[in-house]
Amino acid sequence: MNSQEEVTDEGLKSLSEGLQRLSFLQSIELSFYRCKKITDEGLNNLSACLKRLNSLQSIQLNFSYCPKITSQGLTKLGKSLQRLSSLRSIYLDIPYCRSLDEGLSNFGKSLQRLSSLQSINLDFSSCGIKNKGLTNLGKHLQRLGTLQSINLCLSE
- pLDDT per position as a tens digit, 101-148: 788 889 889 998 899 999 999 988 887 788 888 888 888 888 898 999
Q: Are 51 and 80 in contact (CB under 8 A)?
A: yes
- pLDDT per position as a tens digit, 28-78: 999 999 999 999 999 999 999 999 999 999 999 999 999 999 999 999 999
Task: Tell whether the model's pLDDT for residue 81 goes beyond 50.
Answer: yes
Please tell me the CATH code under which domain 23-153 is placed: 3.80.10.10
3-state secondary structure the chain: CCHHHHCEHHHHHHHHHHHCCCCCCCEEEEECCCCCECEHHHHHHHHHHHCCCCCCCEEEEECCCCCECCHHHHHHHHHHHCCCCCCCEEEEECCCCCCCHHHHHHHHHHHCCCCCCCEEEEECCCCCCCHHHHHHHHHHHCCCCCCCEEEEECCC
Beta-bridged to residue 68, according to DSSP, are 39
Cα gap 43→38, rounded to integer Å = 8
Instruction: Say what percent of the chain tops pLDDT 70.
Output: 97
- Provide the pLDDT for residue 124: 84
Q: How far is CA 90 from CA 4, 103, 121, in A?
A: 23, 16, 6
Q: Are 75 and 105 in contact (CB under 8 A)?
A: no
- pLDDT per position as a tens digit, 7-21: 999 999 999 999 999
User: What is the band of 2 on the pLDDT scale with cuts at 50, 70, 90?
Assistant: low
